[in-house]
Chain A
Amino acid sequence: MVVFEHIAAALYLAAGVGATLGLTLSAPGVLTGARWCMALGAVAQTAAFATLHRLDPAPALTDLAQALAVMAWLGVIFTLSLFSRYRLPGFVPPVAFIAFLAAFGAILSTSGPGVDASSTGSIPHAHVLLASAGFAALGVAGLAGIFFLVEHRALKLRRSLRRRVPMPSLEALDRVNRVALVLGFPLLTLGVLTGSLWLDSRTGSLWSGSLHEAWTVVAWTIYLGLVAMRFAGHQGARQAAASAVAGFAFLVVAVVGVGLVS
């Protein structure tokens, strides 16, 4: 398990460095290699998760570091699946570096004793997996939003003509944003619901009023508004991009920030 996590982290790091070099040196071969490195990193991380239960004691997915590793892993897989439809130069470095940090964080967290989540049933795992998948998809939407805003600004300032590093087209970024939102919001909703069920199984109540729950519900409500505005046609691509960035920033605070504080 730890060996696979080490391999995954190393491959993600290599993918991030390789893609950065490939972009700055305009070397398509290096970029392709970096993409393969990231894919192999995802395979290694899959193997790490598949062997998770063999550890004694088994680290819980509900541990924040493990949950972030799952989010990053799902984010990598989602990003790789987008490459088959869209030209997204520039996406590999941030995704690979985030995945590296998450995998590395999980390695550090496994050094301590874990909590066996299996004793609490399948709902915690379902909550972590669904919420992580939603978080990952909305993270990709946020990343596409950042890229969109940068590219939009460059086009408006007429700077993009002189740029040497290739960037995805605005149209591709907007479509990625849309797809990620369509996928991420239902997953986040299911994550919130399973979280309530888990809480109910432990405390007999669906709502405890904790900071994490409050922020998550606010984040979910924000996303509900974004989805409604986006699909009702009240938002242009730039506003949708800005909303995706703001929504994800709020979600990060709700999940990671509050998780670290509490």
Chain B
Amino acid sequence: MKVMLLGMNHKSAPVEVRERFAVAQTGPLLRKLVDRPGIEEAVLLSTCNRVEIVVITKNPDAARHLLLEFFARDLAEGELPTGISLEDLTYIRHGRDAVEHVFRVASAIDSMVVGEPQILGQVKDAYRDAVEVRACGAVLSRLYQRAFATAKRVKNETEIAKRPVSVARVAVDLAKQIFENLDDKSALLLGAGDMIEAALVALDDHGLGTRRIANRTPAHAEPLAQRFGGTAHGLDEIDELLGHSDVVLTCVAAEDPILTRAHVEASLAKRGARPLFLIDIGVPRNIDPAVHEIDEAYLYDLDDLQEVAAENEEERRRESERAERIIFEEREHFDGWMVTLQAVPTIRDLRQRVEEIRQAELERYAGRLGLDDDQSEAIEKLTRGIVNKIMHAPISRLRDETNREVGLARLDEARSLFGLDEDADDAELSDLDDASRNEAESDS
């Protein structure tokens, strides 16, 4: 049994192609996939940045064709642009590479933003969906449990997810250094563009209490206000709104600052000198830098935040090297488990072969020796004991070897030494019979 992965991500295909393959309900598709011959188990992960199928198969070549066909027929919406084939947009990983890839994805090392926290939840959802439709068996269950453990180790043992890499997240982190809780705080956002939307997403994740969005044209702020449960206002209401706000974020196209020191001082007088955190991501700046000189006002601009975001991103890249070492270790463990799993059929065949020989020899001599029931039972126990004792050490060594190369070599040797892959060879058996007979006669 081999692990195999076929996928498409932000590195292999542009978003306009990826979005055609994204699926919301993976369960029915997975069921359909594992019902096809050659696919033992499957997990399908579909996010905005990647679509990946991990399968367990005995025949990787056939599975590859099957998965490409599955991508094209069952996942794709519409035709691909002419001149582009699905093989150009996807990647295939086999065996250890596939295992390593799954670990890397779950640990957010393969993400567009390294260390982002959402992917682990998405991988867990994909695994849960596969379990629900019984598309996930022993091997993929083990693989995903190890992937979750790897992600946990990467999170705990490296600094990869500790520091934010987006301007909005850096701003939220900073707000937490000023305020104990964000859920009882009010935010005032000036503008209604993409940056304000990104900030609202970040603030929403941290449960900020009240959101007020002010824009030159209040109607443009209305959709954002509705989406994030806030209220829309005009810029002419700033003075009033400022008095009720703890966090102010501005990103407005304006030649001159729209918030001056006088504005902020007046608002602080109204709010009883509670701290005010201002983030100015407008270019040119929307808030007079002199505001930072006020004791209770903490003003940060785009350069301050962007510089930190860039440093954090660089640090995450450095940390990803440590994460790769953890992934390598975990992959080795999983490999060891796969080897022991592959040992099961060999051990079963070996036991069966030895038992057949024991039974055959017992039958051969049972009539000749004229044993009563007690004696037959004693001989039965004796031969079984001898066989078990002889087989104990080789079976243990086959079962417990976790080094992939050594383990696979031992399995091959065992199959060869005991002739487990050969059909019952008459000549060989008759030689064995003769030898046994001679030995038995000389003993008697």
A and B interact physically: yes
Tell me whether A87 and B180 are in contact in the complex, defined as CB-CB below 8 angstroms, given that A161-B170, A161-B308, A236-B295 are known contacts.
yes
Tally of contact residues, A, Cβ under 8 A: 22
The reply to whether B180 and A233 form a contact with Cβ atoms under 8 Å apart is no
Instruction: Give the Cβ gap from B51 to chain A, nearest Cβ, in Å.
Output: 36
Rounded to whole Å, the gap between the CB of B292 and the closest CB of chain A is: 7
Flag B153-191 by CB within 8 Å of A: 1 or 0 each. Answer: 000000100100000001001101111100000000000
Chain B: which residue is nearest A175 at the CB level?
B180
Which of B162, B170, B292, B305 interacts with A156 by CB under 8 Å? B292
CB distance from B307 to the nearest CB of A (A): 8
- In the bound complex, do residue B300 and residue A158 qualify as a contact, i.e. CB atoms below 8 Å apart? yes
Which residue of the partner chain, among A167, A233, A238, contacts B272 with CB atoms under 8 Å?
A: A233
- The contact of A237 among B162, B173, B296, by CB within 8 Å, is B296
Asked whether B275 lies within 8 Å of A171 as measured between CB atoms, the reply is yes
- Whether A155 and B273, one on each chain, are in contact in the complex, defined by CB atoms closer than 8 angstroms, is no
Of residues B180, B292, B304, B311, which shows the largest number of chain A Cβ atoms within 10 Å of its Cβ?
Answer: B180
**Is B174 a contact of A237 with CB atoms below 8 Å?**
no
Q: Given A162-B311, A170-B275, check contact A155 B295 (CB 8 Å).
A: no
Main secondary structure of the interface of A (DSSP, over half): helix
The answer to whether B304 and A237 touch across the interface, beta carbons within 8 angstroms, is no
Residues of A within 8 A of B176 (CB): 169
With CB as the reference atom, state the residue of chain B lying closest to A169: B180
Q: Say yes or no: is B70 at the interface (Cβ < 8 Å to chain A).
A: no
Interface residues on B, range: 20 to 34
Which residues of chain A (207-244) have a CB below 8 Å from chain B?
233, 236-239
Is A156 a contact partner of B298 (Cβ separation < 8 A)? yes
**Chain A residues with CB below 8 A from B292, complex form:** 156
Q: How many Å lie between the Cα of A171 and that of B179 in the bound state?
A: 5
Query: Which residues of B lie under 8 Å from residue A172 when comparing CB positions?
Result: 180
In the assembled complex, the Cα of A238 lies from the Cα of B174 at a distance in Å of: 18
Q: Which residues of B contact A (CB under 8 A)?
A: 159, 162, 170, 173-174, 176-180, 272-275, 292, 295-296, 298, 300, 304-305, 308, 311
Rank and list the top 4 A-B pairs by shortest CB-CB distance, nearest first. A236-B273, A172-B180, A171-B180, A161-B308
Residues of chain A touching chain B, judged by Cβ–Cβ distance below 8 Å, are 26, 86-87, 151-152, 155-156, 158, 160-162, 167, 169-172, 175, 233, 236-239
Instruction: Known pairs A161-B170, A162-B308, A167-B177; list 20 more (Cβ under 8 Å).
Output: A86-B180, A155-B174, A155-B177, A155-B178, A155-B298, A156-B292, A169-B176, A170-B179, A170-B275, A171-B275, A233-B272, A233-B273, A236-B295, A236-B296, A237-B274, A237-B275, A237-B295, A238-B295, A238-B296, A239-B295
